[in-house]
Amino acid sequence: FEDFYKILVPCVARYSKMKAAEGYNIEFIYDESVYVNADEVKITQVIYNLINNAITYTGDDRSVKITQSVSNGRVRISVADTGCGISKESIKYIWDRYYKEDKAHKRAGVGTGLGLSIVKGVVELHGGLYGVESCEGHGATFWFELAL
């Protein structure tokens, strides 16, 4: 069993240099410390993939909001960006290996197209849930849930 807060805080802290150097506003909000039965390395990989994705696609304000919430015996981690969002046609494909939606506002960077596929696989291995809420022109919020 891992204290989820102790997994999340170091992940978010790694982005502090980027926050200062490149003007990103990376906010982390949580309501309580909780314990989950999870592989720390694999869940850390999920968190990094979601944060990196949000940084890549966030809007000109360079804002990323990470939220931990607890409800009905589950913890949900949500990572929201303020970018151009995901088209309804693309949402069904984003969890597939190597799928990359062509985005005009994507920041320069190197990616393999595996990040969300890895998120899907790891969360499923943990018996968790995952998803995305997005509307074109209004950013995207990716989330995953694990049982407490």
Q: What is the pLDDT of residues 12-29, one digit of tens each?
A: 888 877 777 888 999 999
pLDDT of 146 strictly over 50: yes
What are the pLDDT digits (tens) for 43-55? 999 999 999 999 9
Residue corresponding to tokens 């943990």: 126
From the number of C-beta atoms within 10 Å of its C-beta (0-12, 13-18, 19+), residue 106 rates as middle
Give the residue-averaged pLDDT of 117-143: 95
- Cα–Cα distance measured from residue 6 to residue 96, given in angstroms and rounded to the nearest whole number: 30
Q: Give the whole-angstrom CA distance, residue 29 versus residue 21.
A: 22
- Residues 59-111: pLDDT tens digits? 999 999 999 999 999 999 999 999 999 988 888 888 887 655 555 445 444 44
- The token duo for 105 is 């506002």
Residue 113: is its pLDDT beyond 90?
Answer: no
Question: Which of 55, 49, 47 has the alpha carbon at shortest distance from 77?
Answer: 47
**What pLDDT was estimated at residue 1?**
66
To the nearest 10 degrees (0 to 180), the angle between helices 4-13 and 40-57 is 40
